[in-house]
Amino acid sequence: MSVVNRTSSPCSHSASEAVAMWRRSTVLCATLALMAVCTAQIDDDCLDGDLRLRGGEKEHEGRVEICVSGEWGTVCDDLWDRYNAKVVCNQLGFNYSAAIAVSRAHYGEGSGPIFLDNVACSGREERLTDCVHNGLLEHNCGHHEDAGVYCQPVEEACLDGSIRLAGEREVQNEGRVEICNQGQWGTVCDDRWDRNDAAVACAQLGFLQNDAIPVSRAMYGQGIGYILYDEMDCTGLERNLSDCRSAGLLVNDCQHSEDAGVLCRPREDSPCSNGELRLTGGRDSTEGRVEFCFNGRWGTVCDDRFGDSDARVICRQLGFPAGYGQSGATFGQGAGPIFLDDLDCLGNETTLLSCRHDGVGFHNCQHSEDASVICLAAEERCIEGDVRLMNGDYPNEGRVEICISNHWGTVCDYLFDASDARVVCNQLGYTNGDVIQVQDGYYGAGRGMVWLSGLECSGNETRLLDCPLPYSSRSCSHSSDVSIICPITASGGTVGRCSDGAVRLVNGSLPNEGLVEICYNGRWGAICEDQWDTLDATVVCHQMGFPGDSVIAVGKSLFSSSSGPIFLDSVDCQGTESRLDECFDRSSLGTHSCRDVSGHAGVICPSIERTCDNGEVRLVGGGTLLEGRVEVCYNSRWGTVCDNMWDRRDARVVCRQVAGEYGLEYDDFFNPVAVRGSGFGRGSGPVFLTDLLCVGSEQNLLECRGAEVGVYDCSSAGIYCGLQPCKDGSLRLAEGLPGSNNTGRVEMCIRNVWAGLCDTGFDDRNAEFVCSQLGLPDKNAVSVGGDFFGHGHHISSWSVAYSCDNGSRGCSLRATTKTECPHVGVFCEQMVTRCRTGHVRVVGGANSSEGRVEVCLNGQWGKICDDSWDDNAAKVVCGQLNLPTIGAKAVVGSSIWGSSPSLDYVLDDVKCFGSESKLLDCHSSPVLSHNCLHTEEAGVTCHGKTSNSGQNKTLPTETSPAAVSCIRGGGGGEEDMYSSGQVAAIILPVVLVMMVVLVSSLAGMWLVLQRRKRSVNQSDQFPIARGQGIVQFNEFSSESESLDKISGTNTAI
C-alpha cells in the first residue's frame, strides 16, 4: 500500500514515526484519536536498522537481530551467505574479512517478528538494510531458520598453520581440531583421520605424543566456517599438522558432522590411571555402565560382542566374584569418548586391557550401545522357591523375583497371565480381589538371572515353583521383567489408600484439568490415549462433579506424563455412564498397547468457578496491547490458536474483540495483520483451535467455521491490530481480482479511516470518475454493486452523492450518511481487448438464443455457477442480449451444452429480481468465490422473437457456427467472427458505423482541446494529480453523521 501524507490527519507523524506508532503506541493513539487530540511519542531503545548479536558465547558471534520501530526481530537464513555476514560484521565494527555466515538457528531460536528474508548483499554495503531483500515482514520462515554470523575480532588474529582444540570438552587436552588459514579458523575432516594424525596434532599443541587418540564424527560438536583439510596422511614425524599430506587446501567432500578431534595424553598428573574401571548409573556399587580410563579421561565400552565372560573380568577387576553382561545402555548412555569395542575376553584375564579388542579409541558405535554389568556381591541366602515384590511404593506391588540356587532372579513376561499372577499374590498372602499385571517394566529392570519364562500356572498352585514347567521358553532380558499389583486386602488386615474405580486429575495447572488416573488395588494408574474421546472425558468430568458441557479430551504433550502404571487402553464410553469403570471389563486392567509413555489420556472439564469466559481472547508477547500471540479461553483455561490457514479474516475477528475490550471502535480504527510461525512465541498452554474459516464478521473465534475445540500440536497464530491512518477524501481499490491493480471495492478515507461506499446510485459515470482520480484507465470503467468484491467487514459503510459539471474531470463524490449497505466496486479498463467487463454471451447451444452463459470481467470470459440460478437471472441475461425475456428459462447443470474446463467460475449464487439491466447488477457471492464443479455451469434459453430496437444484431462467434451468440452492446467483443452467409447483410452497417466513428472522433478532438483550455484556467481551484493507487482530496468537512462535499484533488500518492 502506498504511504499517505498525514499533514491534515489528527495524528501527524513522519513516515518512520508512523510505523513506530502502529507497532508500539496503537492503543494510546487510537484512544486519543477518538477525542481528536492524538500525539504519539515513542521512546525507542534502538534505531531503525541497528544490529545486535545474541546467543553466542562471545560478543563477536551470535544470532543476527535487527531493530525496526524500536523492536528487535530476526533475519531468515534463506540466501544467507558470507557476503551478508561481511556486511553485518562490518556494521558491528568487527573484522569482516573472515566473516562466517551461520544458519539453521545455530545460536538458538529468537522471538518476536522475523523482519527480513532473502537478503542478498554484495558485501560492499555499509548497513544490512542497504542490501536487497523481500521487504519488512515479508517471509516464509520460522525461527528455526534464524540467521547468525561469526565475526573475527581484531585481537583474535591467528598465524597460518597454528592449531587449537575447541568445542564441547571437559579437559584441556581434548577437543575439535581447528587450524588457521589466512587469519581464519577452520576444521579438519575425519576421513582417514588416525593415530599418526592425532600424534602430530598433540605434539604441536605441547602434549605428549604417545597414546594420542583420534576422535571422529564431531564428538566435540560441529564447527563453523570452512573445512580446510580432508584425507590427512601424516607419518607422525611432522612438526605441524599443515606439513602432512592431504587432499589439498579446501578440497573435501565433508560436512561439519565429520569434524575431527583428538584426546591427547597430558603432561601433568591425571585424575585416573590408564586401564582403571568404574561403574556408573546403577543403584549401587555392584552394577552400572562400564567406564574405562585412558589419558586422564573416562570413556565407555561398546557392547559389540560384549558378554558374560567380559563381565566376569570387569567384576573381578572391581573386587566382585562374578557378574553378568548387559547391552543397549541398560544404565543410561554415557558421554565423552568410546574407548573399547569388540571385546573378546576369555574370562580368566586379570584386567580388561589384557583382553583382545580393536584398539583404544577405535570403534563404530554410539553411546546407545554402551556396555554395562551386574556384579554379584557376597553370597546371598534365600529359601528355594520364595517370591518377593521389588521396587514398589507399597508391599503389594512391584517386580516379581524368585529365589533359585540361593540367588534372587526375575521372571520373564513371556506368556505370563492372570493365572500366574494370582499364584504369586496367593503365595504372598494377598488372596482377595483382582490382580493387575503391569507392562513396560514399570518397576524397573532387575539384575542377576532371569529364572523363569513361559509359565503355565492354573491359578490354584500354592507356590510359583509348583506350576508346570513350559515345553518351550525364550531368552529374555531384564527389560521384560514381569511386574504385578496384588489386591490390598491381605491376610494381616486391610490397607486403605484409594477406592477401586475412583478417578482423579493430576499434573494440571487448574483443578478442572489434568491427566486422568483411576484407582485399583490401592494404586493410582494412568489411561492410554488410544481412542480417548469427548464421550470418555464427559464421564470423567461427571464423576468428579464438574458440568458435562464443553468437555475437552486431551492426549499427549499437554500435561506431563503420569508417574503411575498404565491400567487401561481403548476406553469406550457412551457418555451416559455415571462412572468410568462402567466403560470397560475389569479383566482388561493392566493390558494396553500404548507405546508412547507420554501418550496418557487427560481432560479439561468446565470450571465451576470461571476465571474467563469461553471464546474470550487476549494478546500475549507483543510490544503493545494491540499485538501479540492470540490466546483464547475455554473451560477457564487459556490456550493458543494454530496458524494453519490463519489469515486476515481470522485476525479481523480477534481485533474486533480486542477493540471492544479497550473501548475502541473497531470499524473506524483497525487494519489487522495475521502473523504465522509463532512470531510472538509458541505459548505454554494447549492449542485449542486450528483450521479456522472465519468470514470476518463473527463476534468471537468460536463462531467461525472449523472452530472445533480440541488440543493440537502446531505453531501459534498472532496478530497486529494496527491503526490505519489515511487522509480524508483519499480513494483506493481493495480486494480486487488476483494480479490486477485496476479492479476492486471502492473505499474512501472518511474521518481518517477507510470506509466502503454504498452501491445505491453508483453507476459507470461514478466508476469513470474514481478510476480517473486513481490515475487508472477510465474510458470503459464499469461499476459493480452487491458486494461484488466482498463486503469490507473491517470498515464502515457510507452512502454517497455524485455530481458532475463538465464530464468526469469536473465531478465530485460526497459522503452523506453512515449506514449499512452493500459495497460498490469498479473495473478500470483502458480499451476493449477481447471483451468488455459486464458483457455476456451464450455458447454451445443449437442456436443463438440458448446455451451456457459466460460473462466478461476485466477482458476475460468466465463462466457462472448454477447455484441459486433461476428464471429471473435468465430474464436479465436474455434482456441484456436483446432477446425476448418473456418465457426466458434458466438451465442448470448445463453440461447438455458441454462444459468449458479452461474457463474459471467468476460468479456464484447469482440472485436477480429480473428487472436489472445487466447481470452484474444482480447480487452474487464475491467474485471468484464458488464451490462448483464443471458440471454446474449455468445456462439459459431465450426463445421467441428478437427485439425490434434494431440496435443489436445476433452474431455467431467462435469456430462452431452455432457455438456462441454475442450481441454487440450486450455480450459481444472485438473477437466476434461472422459466418459467410451474413457478410453481405453486415458490410453496409459496418461501413456506416465507421463513418459515424470518424466524424465523432474529429468532434471529440475539438472538445478535448476546448476542455484543456478551460482546465488550465481552473487549475488554481482544482489541481488534479494522478497516482498509482491512492488519490487524496483537499476538502473535507463533517457535521454529526453527515459529511459535506469532498471535491477536487490535491495530492496523488
SS (H, E, C) 177-228: EEEEECCEEEEEECCCCCHHHHHHHHHHCCCEEEEEEEECCCCCCCCCCCEE
Query: What is the pLDDT at residue 369?
Result: 92
Contacting residues for 922 by C-beta, under 8 A, at least 6 apart: 786, 873, 876, 910, 911, 912, 913, 916
pLDDT digits (tens, 9 = 90+) for 816-847: 777 778 888 998 876 555 688 888 999 888 88
Task: Provide the pLDDT confidence category of residue 191 given band limits of 50, 70 and 90.
Answer: very high
Closest C-alpha among 560, 714, 688, 677 to residue 618: 688
- Crossing angle of helices 26-33 and 15-24, in 10° steps, is 100
Contacting residues for 957 by C-beta, under 8 A, at least 6 apart: 841, 963, 964, 965, 966, 972, 975, 976, 977
Identify whether 272 is part of a domain: no
pLDDT digits (tens, 9 = 90+) for 365-409: 889 999 999 887 766 678 889 999 988 888 888 999 998 877 888
Domain finish residue from 723, 753, 776: 723
Whether residue 575 is found in the same domain as residue 654: no
Residue 144 CB coordination number (10 Å): 11
Task: Provide the pLDDT confidence category of residue 268 given band limits of 50, 70 and 90.
Answer: low
Whether residue 1021 is found in the same domain as residue 948: no
Domain finish residue from 681, 700, 723: 723
How much is the pTM? 0.34
Query: What is the pLDDT at residue 119?
Result: 93
- Please give the helix or strand (H or E) that residue 322 lies within, else none: strand 322-326
CA distance 179 to 187: 6
Q: Which residues in 316-328 are b (16+ Cβ under 10 Å) and which e?
A: bbbebeebbbbbe
Residues in the chain, how many?
1053
Whether residue 707 is found in the same domain as residue 811: no
Query: What is the pLDDT at residue 193?
Result: 93
Query: What is the pLDDT at residue 705?
Result: 87
Could you identify the residue written with the cell 573381578?
Answer: 316
Beta bridge mates, 65: 52, 74
Task: Provide the pLDDT confidence category of residue 720 given band limits of 50, 70 and 90.
Answer: confident
Task: Provide the pLDDT confidence category of residue 879 given band limits of 50, 70 and 90.
Answer: very high
Pairing of strands 61-68, 71-75: antiparallel
Task: Provide the pLDDT confidence category of residue 610 given band limits of 50, 70 and 90.
Answer: low
Identify whether 382 is part of a domain: no
Whether residue 560 is found in the same domain as residue 633: no
Q: Of 724 and 1004, which is predicted with more confidence?
A: 724
Identify whether 630 is part of a domain: yes
Q: pLDDT at residue 154 above 80? A: no
Give whole-number Cα distances, 311 to 288, 290, 776, in Å. 11, 9, 87
Q: Domain of residue 479: give its range.
A: 387-494
Whether residue 871 is found in the same domain as residue 962: yes
Whether residue 426 is found in the same domain as residue 350: no
Whether residue 814 is found in the same domain as residue 916: no
Whether residue 733 is found in the same domain as residue 779: yes
Query: What is the pLDDT at residue 62?
Result: 93
Whether residue 489 is found in the same domain as residue 574: no
Query: What is the pLDDT at residue 387?
Result: 92
Identify whether 299 is part of a domain: yes
Pairing of strands 483-485, 397-404: antiparallel
pLDDT digits (tens, 9 = 90+) for 396-453: 889 999 988 778 889 988 888 889 999 999 888 888 777 888 876 778 888 778 888 8
pLDDT digits (tens, 9 = 90+) for 952-988: 333 333 333 333 333 333 443 333 333 333 333 334 4
Question: Phi and psi of 209, rounded to 5°?
Answer: -80, -30
What's the total number of domains in the chain?
8
Whether residue 719 is found in the same domain as residue 625: yes
CA distance 930 to 225: 53
Identify whether 1018 is part of a domain: yes
Q: pLDDT at residue 74 above 80? A: yes
Identify whether 631 is part of a domain: yes
Percent of the chain with pLDDT over 90: 17
- Please give the helix or strand (H or E) that residue 975 lies within, else none: none
Residue 138 CB coordination number (10 Å): 13
Q: Is 536 helix (H, G, I), strand (E, B) or coil?
A: helix
Report the CATH number that the domain containing residue 305 is assigned in CATH.
Answer: 3.10.250.10
Residue 981 Rama label (left phi>0; alpha psi -120 to 50; beta): alpha
Pairing of strands 397-404, 407-411: antiparallel
Q: Is 125 helix (H, G, I), strand (E, B) or coil?
A: coil
Whether residue 162 is found in the same domain as residue 150: no
Domain finish residue from 723, 741, 776: 723
pLDDT digits (tens, 9 = 90+) for 12-46: 344 444 334 434 433 333 333 333 333 333 334 68
Identify whether 582 is part of a domain: yes
| Cell numbers representing residue 1044 in the block | 459535506
Query: What is the pLDDT at residue 217?
Result: 87
Query: What is the pLDDT at residue 11?
Result: 36
Query: What is the pLDDT at residue 157?
Result: 62
Identify whether 982 is part of a domain: no
Whether residue 740 is found in the same domain as residue 710: no
HSE at residue 609, side-chain half, CA atoms within 13 A, is 2
Residue 347 Rama label (left phi>0; alpha psi -120 to 50; beta): left
Q: Report which listed range, 12-21, 62-71, 858-867, 892-901, is most confident.
A: 62-71
